[in-house]
Amino acid sequence: MSHAVLIVDDNLYIRKELRELFGREDDFNVCGEAENGMQAVEKAQRLHPELIVLDFSMPVMNGMAAARILKRVMPEVPVIMYSAYDEPPAEQEARSAGVWAWVSKSENISVLLDRARCALGPQELLEFQSLSVNDHRS
């Protein structure tokens, strides 16, 4: 089964790399892209992705503001914050905004794929992953 992913990043190069990364995987397909949080909210409501990969720092509307809106209008869709920022206060704020996981752009790209698969896995795994992410980042 292929899962629809919405990629949101203001950097065209990052969007291209993520599109290619998810495109090479049999269990994912990229349903759309956005370059800021406002576009992310609009496209998510139109495209109905199963997963949203969202940058933290973007113009017009940043990832944190977009995550809050997305979790309010699409609470069942996991959001992964994929960011160059790797600061605990930002990660704490993201968790409180409903972000499922925080992945630093400095980590191996396989971490993003692993978190994406876990976010879309069975509910038992979802609960375990959420707790383990919180426990490791506290």
Q: Containing H/E element for 119?
A: helix 109-119
Enumerate the β-bridge partners of residue 40: none
Q: What is the pLDDT of residue 44?
A: 96
Distance CA 42, CA 39 (A): 5
Query: Domains, the chain, ranges and CATH?
Result: 3-137 (3.40.50.2300)
More confident residue, 108 or 126: 108
Q: What is the pLDDT of residue 2?
A: 87
Residue 134 has pLDDT above 80, yes or no: no
Question: What tokens were used for 93?
Answer: 């704020």
Enumerate the β-bridge partners of residue 54: 8, 81
pLDDT digits (tens, 9 = 90+) for 71-106: 999 999 999 999 887 777 777 878 888 889 888 888
pLDDT digits (tens, 9 = 90+) for 6-42: 999 999 999 999 999 999 998 899 999 999 999 999 9
Distance CA 1, CA 122 (A): 13
